[in-house]
Structure 1
Amino acid sequence: MQQGELVSPFPSARGPLENGPINRAVRQPASDWEQRYRRAVILSDTAATAFVVAAIGNFFGARDAANWHEKWGILAFGTELLVLGALAVTRSWAPAVLGQGAEEFRRLGRSLFTATVVLSLGGIALTSRNIKLWIFVAIPAIALVTMTERYLLRLWLHKQRKEGRCLRPVLAAGSLATVRDLISRTRKFPHLGWRVEAVCTAGSPSIEGDQLDGVPVVGRLGDVAGHVRRDGYRVVAVTPDPHWSPDRLQRLAWNLEGSDAEMVVAPVLMEVAGPRLHVDAVLGIPLLRVSMPAFTGGHRAVKEVVDRLGAAVLLMLFSPLMLLVGLLVLADSRGGAVYRQRRVGKDGREFTILKFRTMVSGADRARAALADRNEGAGLLFKLRRDPRVTRVGAVLRRYSIDELPQLFNVLTGSMSLVGPRPPLPEESAAYAPDIRRRLLVKPGLTGLWQISGRSDLPWEEAVRLDLRYVEDWSLALDAVILWKTLRAVFYGQGAY
């Protein structure tokens, strides 16, 4: 080890990413880092909860020092135990969800809501007058602190995974096309924590020793269980192939019992995930039930309320900045401070979007002359160095400050805080029927496209992200997108 080299607190199952054969002789069990990361999360949650309840108990309990142990000490200790117990019961510390998508924060929110309900019922039963403090101050404070520390731990984990560490070794078993797609996706999104290290596929025995996109083909589909037990893969990813009949899948699941491997079966479906997928047992047959997308109902009503209240609060907070930006725009070039443009919203209804002007006056008329220099993907028109952009406008675009007036669109109901990108009428007119599904929900001030690269995204990827949001929307997904938007705006990636 060289002097000054940092040592990770979570030992890696692999070194840096590489395309060559895997040296399994030096691979440590992936469960080592998984268990260490899980312990780090549990300790962080416990410390965060203890800190909050101790701070509240000491601050408010000091005013009633005579009865501190009776009134404040018991409530503080009970609240901490209740929150930690709820985290354990809702499996918020399960390794399968730690560092994995919105489900981690969804379970965290569910556990804190459960603790709030139990605490409320306990306060009613005990007729405690001090219970309101713990319900309306302590639990929200615990939620804020625990979600922040979880997010910071996740950032560290994702950084390690991008460097090829803390990855779960995967054995992929399926057709060549579907396995190749899985390999491509795991390399493109290493933060998800999978690395395909071996492949089993249909074919003659002579296929062994070959490689598929740099990953060794170790055997046929009937050899999966033997390779898992011998080489210690943590995930068996079963991708579509005619070989996989129900009997063979069941037999594979039986053969994997007793190993550390998790069996994951990719259904032959569109990209649907999250709260829309349910597994039901009907007459002993496991069925994957896909519920309809939620375009109405209670959750959508909550989203409407959050949008309006959030926009009002943000407008009050940013009003001094918006006033300053408006003056800078006016001083930098001739024209108004606010630019108005027609966009297409929910159900194809047009509305006027508001933005700070970032281009010279008459920029729309000059677009035709720049058509041959278009760098945008698909139907989008974009130039990295657009001559129409003003000096102030370039700064506003880099940090998305030019989009702040869209908070008025959110306040009036034509937009949402989170949603697909609002298209131009000419873009919408050219949409194919599947892409028009983007118009089933309100466009957003931010969205999956905003946190995934913005203008740097290929057109197909931008469409896929918008459709994924429409299909898999949830309140938890909105919360994650809003949180990640702060980082995307700060770094200015893909903004021009």
Structure 2
Amino acid sequence: MTQVQSAFGSSSRVPGIAAFNQPILLSGTTWRRRYQLSLVATDSVLILLVLALNMAASTAGASSGAGHLALGGAVAAGWMTAMSLARSRDARVVGTGAGEYKKVVRASVGTFAATAVLAVVLDLEHFRGMLVLALPAGTLLLLSGRWMWRRWLLHQSLLGHYLSKVVVVGRPADVRYVASQLARKSGPAYTVVGAVYEGKASPAALHAGDRLVPVVSGLRKIKDFVAQTGADAVIVAGPLQKGSSYIRELGWRLEESSTELVLASALTNVAGPRITMRPVEGLPLMHVELPHFTGGRHVLKRVMDIVVSVLALGVLAPLFLLLTLAIRHDTPGPAFFVQERAGKDSAVFRMFKFRSMVTTAEDELELLKEHDEGHGVLFKIRDDPRVTRTGRIIRKYSLDELPQLWNVLRGDMSLVGPRPPLVSEVSAYEEHTHRRLLIKPGLTGLWQVSGRSDLDWDESVRLDLWYVENWSVMGDLIILWRTFKVVLRPVGAY
């Protein structure tokens, strides 16, 4: 019989649950339906608005205004249909950011292509203006609308509203990892309200972010525990000793209360976007597509690197001059710091940075080894005494990284990629960690927008491996945008 641990007594009921959970309103299917209807309304208004303005401009003085109006209505209907077919309002992606934005862009590009074919086939000269103005402008408006709704949803989630309440089930280590990840990174999606450990375990409560949630041992009373916590979903955190047959039976039992069953696989830590389910005669197969480290996407990535780095170096030239003067005035020595780093396929290159430390920093490194906070692989220390006054400022806002735009232009680095490691770090890598070197290191990356120096080594490696195998041009653009926000509001920079 499933028993609640000592803090709740020996009863299978959980009388103390209310003490652990703040009241959460409009959770589960209720808020999702309302939120999806709000998205439909917003998308419809924005699409109709941009098309109406375009039609008003393109039909001014034309005799075929009624025909253009009908075609505009058809485009609006097609655009809304494309948004639905792309599942841009699916409960699994709303509020997630990158995934939601990608679906909006794909639906808009599909509409753009269909409209282009229609304009060519029907020889609609005035209608072609829609391709140049209305669809790009509409796409930006739709993305802006989703961004504003996401900001509102994030604010509501901080108040405890509009969240799906979940119970996490599995081995203690797996449960703790999944609960911590959900608390840190799920955004306006999930809140953990309880945990069920497989087997016997002593803790009566679990930290999920800054909240304490109740814990029970054993799997036989999951259904009752879910009912008591009011959970909308059960997340199975990794493999269970009872095997897949138990998970299937658990899904059947949860159906009665319309509670979702979610499986968390360690495989998704690296191969997430490349995973697809392919049923074969009732047998669900998880297919993992091979990552691609060459090809057209990488050519496009290189083109984007060249264009952006050239423009940035030109625009930022005055800032480079000011920083050079400030660094030289603060402490004697050169304004630039040059260091050997390991690039793609372990090729060594000279990386440029603005100098943020005293010129004797490398010689003083050994004296600070005992204060290392980087777990032996990557040297990190808060309040490093070698950092200069100007260095603290430029480090805080990542201005010391700007000269790496020259490395990007040269082809040593990319705008977005894994963190460029020291040559000495690479020699200490575990075998799988070398996969970070399958593509060029980046001026910024997931490590930059996820906490920078606050990340531990394992989390930094996990983020880099995920990026190496799953990057996309759209994902790079989103990371660049997030980098801009992080620079304005620095976190983990020291």
Structure 2 counterpart of 1:452, one-letter code: S
What is the CA–CA distance in structure 1 between the aligned matches of 2:325 and 2:111, rounded to whole Å?
Answer: 49
| TM superposition shift of 1:329 | 3.3
TM-score (norm 1): 0.84
What is the CA–CA distance in structure 1 between the aligned matches of 2:361 and 2:167, rounded to whole Å?
Answer: 54
Q: Find out whether 1:122 has 2:118 as its counterpart.
A: yes
In the alignment, which residue of structure 1 is the partner of 2:269? 271
Structure 1 counterpart of 2:28, one-letter code: A
1:378·1:459 contact (CA, 8 Å) conserved in 2? no
What is the CA–CA distance in structure 2 between the aligned matches of 1:212 and 1:257, rounded to whole Å?
Answer: 26
Q: Deviations over 1:396-429 (max 9, x none)?
A: 2221122222112112211111111101111222
In the alignment, which residue of structure 1 is the partner of 2:34? 36
Out of 392, 395, 404, the position equivalent to 2:393 is 395
What is the CA–CA distance in structure 2 between the aligned matches of 1:128 and 1:402, rounded to whole Å?
Answer: 53
1:174·1:241 contact (CA, 8 Å) conserved in 2? yes
Q: 1:468 to 1:309 in 2, by over 3 A?
A: same
Q: Find out whether 1:61 has 2:58 as its counterpart.
A: yes
Q: How does 1:62-101 map to 2 (within 5 A)?
A: 64-67=60-63, 69-70=65-66, 73-74=69-70, 76-101=72-97
Secondary structure, in 3 states, of the residue corresponding to 2:84? helix
Q: 1:238 to 1:321 in 2, by over 3 A?
A: same
Q: Deviations over 1:155-200 (max 9, x none)?
A: 3323433443322111333334433333333233352622232344
2:426·2:434 contact (CA, 8 Å) conserved in 1? yes
Structure 2 counterpart of 1:143, one-letter code: T
The percent identity for this pair of structures is 37
Between the two proteins, the alignment pairs up a number of residues equal to 474
Structure 1 counterpart of 2:324, one-letter code: G
Out of 108, 111, 117, the position equivalent to 1:112 is 108
Structure 1 counterpart of 2:435, one-letter code: R
Q: How does 1:420-431 map to 2 (within 5 A)?
A: 420-431=418-429
In the alignment, which residue of structure 2 is the partner of 1:452? 450
Q: 1:352 to 1:217 in 2, by over 3 A?
A: closer
What is the CA–CA distance in structure 2 between the aligned matches of 1:239 and 1:143, rounded to whole Å?
Answer: 37
| TM superposition shift of 1:83 | 2.1
| TM superposition shift of 1:49 | 2.8
In the alignment, which residue of structure 1 is the partner of 2:144? 148
In the alignment, which residue of structure 1 is the partner of 2:416? 418
Q: How does 1:365-380 map to 2 (within 5 A)?
A: 365-380=363-378
Secondary structure, in 3 states, of the residue corresponding to 1:280? strand
| TM superposition shift of 1:277 | 0.6
Structure 2 counterpart of 1:103, one-letter code: G
1:186·1:196 contact (CA, 8 Å) conserved in 2? yes
Out of 164, 172, 195, the position equivalent to 1:168 is 164
What is the CA–CA distance in structure 2 between the aligned matches of 1:433 and 1:255, rounded to whole Å?
Answer: 42
In the alignment, which residue of structure 1 is the partner of 2:437? 439
What is the CA–CA distance in structure 1 between the aligned matches of 2:272 and 2:179, rounded to whole Å?
Answer: 22
Q: 1:147 to 1:319 in 2, by over 3 A?
A: farther
Q: Deviations over 1:324-350 (max 9, x none)?
A: 333433444433333222111011001
TM-score (norm 2): 0.85
| TM superposition shift of 1:21 | 4.3
Q: Deviations over 1:353-407 (max 9, x none)?
A: 1222333434333434444444445433344333443333332222112222211
Q: 1:245 to 1:424 in 2, by over 3 A?
A: closer
Structure 1 counterpart of 2:270, one-letter code: V
Q: 1:402 to 1:174 in 2, by over 3 A?
A: closer
Q: 1:144 to 1:434 in 2, by over 3 A?
A: same
What is the CA–CA distance in structure 2 between the aligned matches of 1:55 and 1:370, rounded to whole Å?
Answer: 64
Structure 1 counterpart of 2:157, one-letter code: R
RMSD: 3.2
Structure 2 counterpart of 1:91, one-letter code: R
What is the CA–CA distance in structure 2 between the aligned matches of 1:258 and 1:438, rounded to whole Å?
Answer: 45
In the alignment, which residue of structure 1 is the partner of 2:13? none
What is the CA–CA distance in structure 2 between the aligned matches of 1:456 and 1:210, rounded to whole Å?
Answer: 29
Out of 187, 191, 198, the position equivalent to 2:187 is 191
| TM superposition shift of 1:259 | 4.4
Q: 1:478 to 1:378 in 2, by over 3 A?
A: farther
What is the CA–CA distance in structure 2 between the aligned matches of 1:369 and 1:177, rounded to whole Å?
Answer: 37
What is the CA–CA distance in structure 2 between the aligned matches of 1:359 and 1:239, rounded to whole Å?
Answer: 44
1:377·1:459 contact (CA, 8 Å) conserved in 2? yes
Q: How does 1:227-306 map to 2 (within 5 A)?
A: 228=226, 232-257=230-255, 259-267=257-265, 269=267, 271-306=269-304
Structure 1 counterpart of 2:397, one-letter code: Y
What is the CA–CA distance in structure 2 between the aligned matches of 1:192 and 1:242, rounded to whole Å?
Answer: 28
Q: Deviations over 1:191-240 (max 9, x none)?
A: 26222323445459xx9996556533568534445665686532121234
Q: How does 1:216-231 map to 2 (within 5 A)?
A: 216-217=214-215, 220-225=218-223, 228=226
What is the CA–CA distance in structure 2 between the aligned matches of 1:436 and 1:284, rounded to whole Å?
Answer: 38
Q: 1:321 to 1:172 in 2, by over 3 A?
A: same
What is the CA–CA distance in structure 1 between the aligned matches of 2:272 and 2:470, rounded to whole Å?
Answer: 6
2:97·2:150 contact (CA, 8 Å) conserved in 1? no
Gaps of 5+ in 1: 1-17
Secondary structure, in 3 states, of the residue corresponding to 2:168? strand
What is the CA–CA distance in structure 2 between the aligned matches of 1:283 and 1:355, rounded to whole Å?
Answer: 57
What is the CA–CA distance in structure 2 between the aligned matches of 1:386 and 1:223, rounded to whole Å?
Answer: 52
Q: 1:244 to 1:47 in 2, by over 3 A?
A: farther
What is the CA–CA distance in structure 1 between the aligned matches of 2:438 and 2:487, rounded to whole Å?
Answer: 26
What is the CA–CA distance in structure 2 between the aligned matches of 1:102 and 1:19, rounded to whole Å?
Answer: 35
What is the CA–CA distance in structure 1 between the aligned matches of 2:204 and 2:385, rounded to whole Å?
Answer: 52
Gaps of 5+ in 2: 1-16
What is the CA–CA distance in structure 2 between the aligned matches of 1:294 and 1:19, rounded to whole Å?
Answer: 49
